[in-house]
Amino acid sequence: MSIQSGNTYKLVNVKGGTVIDLSGTDGTSVLGWNDHGGDNQKWVVEQNLGNQWSFKNVGSGRYLGLGEGHGNGRRLEGVEEPFGWDIFPDEEDSSVYRINAPGLTHFNVDLSDHGNSENGTPIALWGKWKGTNQKWRFEEA
């Protein structure tokens, strides 16, 4: 499946099976959570100039962005302004995707704790490796 700009998706982690969820409690924490169909788990994906993509949360209108810090473990969070991401098909399985911040191709969006499927597991950047916890399915919502 190819990603279509302007469509709404759930982002499902290949390993954990959880989706990227923007916390309804604080509105900024980005976590892995079981799919409950809520708008806080749906993202409008738009391609911007330079072939970057933004993810706008349907529930809050906030964007998927990066928190402070550097390197492994830098958490994703909901931010006010659009944030550009790069999306690439996985080299081994082109039906799933890897997401990284521009200029940080060696860091992928990762379901922490090696793909822990427990609700509340942080979503963060982590050094690229072959783990399926860094691979995401885009499912139309």
pLDDT tens figures, 10-62: 999 999 999 999 999 999 999 999 999 999 999 999 999 778 999 999 999 99
Rounded-to-integer distance, Cα 59 and Cα 28, Å:
12
pLDDT of residue 51: 87
Return the ∠ at Cα 74 (arms to 70 and 78), rounded to 5°.
125
**Type of residue at 100:** N
pLDDT of residue 71: 83
Domain 7-140 has CATH 2.80.10.50: yes
pLDDT of residue 115: 98
Q: Pick the residue with more confidence: 48 or 109?
A: 109
pLDDT of 1 strictly over 80: no
Rounded-to-integer distance, Cα 104 and Cα 135, Å:
16
